[in-house]
Amino acid sequence: MNLLLEVHPFAVAVFSIALGATGQFLFRLGMLHYGKVTVTGIWGQLGAIIFTPEIFLGFTCFGVSSILWLVVISRWELSYAYPLVALGYVLVIFYGTFLLQETIALPKIAGSVLILAGISVLGLWGQS
């Protein structure tokens, strides 16, 4: 039997979202190692950027995340499933704060609480 068919869509959604947030973290980590680029200059450097190990792994995370997301939206309405993606914003704030030593301020905390509250409302009353 296919393992993904046996796993609850919520678990698949959370894993997919976590992979997407991990991809963003890896992109940032890779660009910290690669260096700054400009909108016009990135095109000439794209090959080198993509094959920066962290960037390449970030794209891999996004690819797997996208495939898993197909499982979720095959079982749930898009208008119910997609707001869960906002969990990725909260996870990225944790990555930034604890792994990249970015500052955390009240607006980030308040925004995260509001995101979690909104997702809770959708989870409790949003699915038809």
- Digitized pLDDT (tens) for each residue of the chain, 128 residues in all: 455 557 888 999 999 999 999 999 999 999 999 999 999 999 999 999 999 999 999 999 999 999 999 999 999 998 889 989 999 999 999 999 999 999 999 999 999 999 999 888 877 776 65
**In whole angstroms, what is the distance from residue 58 CA to residue 34 CA?**
14
Q: Minimal CA–CA distance to 126: which of 85, 75, 81, 68?
A: 81
Which pLDDT belongs to residue 74? 95
Q: How many CB atoms lie within 10 A of CB 11?
A: 11
95-99 LR contacts (CB < 8 Å, sep 24+)? 95/21, 95/22, 95/24, 95/25, 96/25, 96/28, 99/25
Number of folded domains that form the chain: 1
Burial string for 20-36 (b: 16+ CB within 10 Å, else e) reads bbbbbbbbbbbbeeeee
Domain that holds residue 109: 3-125
Query: From the centroid of its chain, how far is CA 38?
Result: 24
Report which DSSP code applies to 7: S
Q: Which residue has the tokens 């678990």?
A: 11
**In whole angstroms, what is the distance from residue 34 CA to residue 104 CA?**
25
